[in-house]
Amino acid sequence: KNGEVEYSLLPSTGWERFHIDSKTGQLTNTEVLDREEQESYVLTVYARDGGTPQRDATATVRVTVTDINDHAPVFAGSCYDVAAPENVRLPSLHTFRAHDADTGDNARITYSLAGVVLVYVEPWEAAAATVAFTRDGNYTAIVAENAAPGTPVLQARASVRGGALVQQPPAIEYALVAGNDDAAFTIHPTTGHIIVRSSQRLDRELTPRRHLVVEASAGAAGVSYAHVQVALEDENDNAPYFVAEHVRASVYEGSLKGTFVAKLVAYDADDGRNAATTYHIVGGNDDSAFRVDAATGVVTTSIQLDREIRPSYSLAVAAVDVAPPRGRAVARLYVTVLDRNDNQPTFPPQGRVRIQEDAPVGTTVAVATANDVDIYPNLTYALVRAAAAAGTRRSLSTATRAS
């Protein structure tokens, strides 16, 4: 048992086309192999013995399918039309190509004329006339957005080249055939001049670049196409706008000068310098209590605020274009001044208090009320020392009361 070996094939691409004898290990094919379908196969042979514990091994076999001349040459077409100019001797009329799926010498092909070759003579110009644009048909232009109708863009120019038509070239007609669905541009049919037709449809913020396709047609000479890339140059036609037009913030009274309050953010849809914005406080800045950074929109305190003098502010902050015409937007910043316990209680003036002698203990002598301008003051009252008058027979005891 230990010396008995059993063979098998492990699954792989195309392995089902082969068979291995489990006892002898002899490998055979189970179907006809076609090199033009698959040139080689990689098989894995598995062997195991009959002992305990069972031992096994694998081997890789590469089967290469050799070629036989089983394919005939094939032309790309069975019939060819070949044109040649009259009164001109050419070194070659046409080069024929055939393909053979075999390989090596089996794929080597030789060519010869067999049978009758039918030749049909048709008048033909030495070189066909064509229409071609200048600049290889690629043009670029820059036009200001909102440009007035009639503003020139560029001239697309084409000419007829080659053939007898050059002596009397036909007229070329130009047309915009793509990229102008909104009719923002128009082209002169005979000169190729492109101009602005509608300024309202040239908005850089919506479409910064326009790609136009120009067709030039010249009768028998055919047609040609050119591509025109139009870049729209920005104009300052958009005012700034705030992300939030109403902003609420708070700051403690008594905070140091320069304390951060809020940051207002404005954007401008224009480009470059036309999008630059500066910030200014234009209203509500009583006592000049605040300042705004012109470049960043950061609002800070410029004095120490006192809630008891002014508990809140309503600032109007403007974002203004740097470039003319200077568009602007205004946002409202509501600032609440938060309270600190920065004020002492005070008593109003008190008159002389009288009490009868021998008044019972607990008799109300007077009610003392203090004022504190802070918010929600937590006041407590106490007699800080006993008061005695000369000749009195009793003294007042201390008492406390919360307010």
pLDDT, tens only, 52-96:
767 888 888 999 999 999 888 876 555 655 655 555 555 556 667
353 and 331 share a domain?
Answer: no
Last residue of a domain, one of 287, 317, 338: 338
Examine residue 246 and state whether it is found in any structural domain, yes or no. Answer: no
Percent of the chain residues past pLDDT 90, beyond the cut: 46
Q: Which domain holds residue 211?
A: 130-233
204 and 274 share a domain?
Answer: no
Q: Are 65 and 40 in contact (CB under 8 A)?
A: yes
Q: Are 67 and 35 in contact (CB under 8 A)?
A: yes
Query: Would you place residue 125 in the very low, low, confident or very high pLDDT band (cuts 50, 70, 90)?
Result: very low
SS3 275: helix
- Measured distance CA(3)–CA(23) in Å, rounded: 12
- Measured distance CA(19)–CA(31) in Å, rounded: 10
Average pLDDT over residues 349-372: 83
Name the token pair of 88: 């001109």
- Measured distance CA(392)–CA(371) in Å, rounded: 32
- Measured distance CA(289)–CA(313) in Å, rounded: 9
Phi, psi of 74, deg, nearest 5: -135, 130
Examine residue 210 and state whether it is found in any structural domain, yes or no. Answer: yes
Q: Quote the pLDDT of residue 348.
A: 85
First to last CA, the chain: 107
309 and 333 share a domain?
Answer: yes
Examine residue 139 and state whether it is found in any structural domain, yes or no. Answer: yes
Q: Is the pLDDT of residue 1 over 80?
A: no
- Measured distance CA(314)–CA(284) in Å, rounded: 5
- Measured distance CA(328)–CA(122) in Å, rounded: 75
Examine residue 145 and state whether it is found in any structural domain, yes or no. Answer: yes
Q: Which residue has the higher pLDDT, 81 or 228?
A: 228
Give how many domains the chain has, as a whole number.
Answer: 4
Query: Would you place residue 119 in the very low, low, confident or very high pLDDT band (cuts 50, 70, 90)?
Result: low
224 and 276 share a domain?
Answer: no
User: Is the pTM here over 0.85, yes or no?
Assistant: no
140 and 228 share a domain?
Answer: yes
pLDDT tens by residue, 36-55: 878 889 898 999 888 876 78
Q: Quote the pLDDT of residue 83.
A: 57
Q: Are 144 and 235 in contact (CB under 8 A)?
A: yes
Examine residue 114 and state whether it is found in any structural domain, yes or no. Answer: no
For 265, what's the count of Cα atoms within 13 Å in the CB-facing half-sphere? 2
Average pLDDT over residues 250-268: 93
Examine residue 97 and state whether it is found in any structural domain, yes or no. Answer: no
Examine residue 362 and state whether it is found in any structural domain, yes or no. Answer: yes
Other residues' Cβ atoms within 10 Å of the Cβ of residue 19? 13
227 and 140 share a domain?
Answer: yes
Last residue of a domain, one of 15, 48, 64: 64
CATH number at residue 267: 2.60.40.60
Eight-state DSSP code of residue 329: E
Examine residue 102 and state whether it is found in any structural domain, yes or no. Answer: no
328 and 292 share a domain?
Answer: yes
358 and 332 share a domain?
Answer: no
Q: Quote the pLDDT of residue 143.
A: 95
Name the token pair of 36: 């033009």
Q: Distance from CA of residue 308 to its chain's centroid?
A: 51
Q: Is the pLDDT of residue 266 over 70?
A: yes
Q: Is the pLDDT of residue 176 over 90?
A: yes
Nearest Cα to 228, choosing from 190, 195, 257, 267? Answer: 195
161 and 184 share a domain?
Answer: yes
Q: Are 128 and 162 in contact (CB under 8 A)?
A: yes
Other residues' Cβ atoms within 10 Å of the Cβ of residue 18? 19
Percent of the chain residues past pLDDT 70, beyond the cut: 85
266 and 221 share a domain?
Answer: no
Q: Are strands 260-263 and 298-301 parallel, antiparallel or unpaired?
A: antiparallel
Q: Are 187 and 215 in contact (CB under 8 A)?
A: no
137 and 222 share a domain?
Answer: yes
358 and 374 share a domain?
Answer: yes
Q: Quote the pLDDT of residue 389.
A: 43
Q: Which residue has the higher pLDDT, 95 or 132?
A: 132
- Measured distance CA(45)–CA(149) in Å, rounded: 81
How much is the mean pLDDT over the chain?
84
Last residue of a domain, one of 14, 32, 64: 64
Average pLDDT over residues 104-131: 67
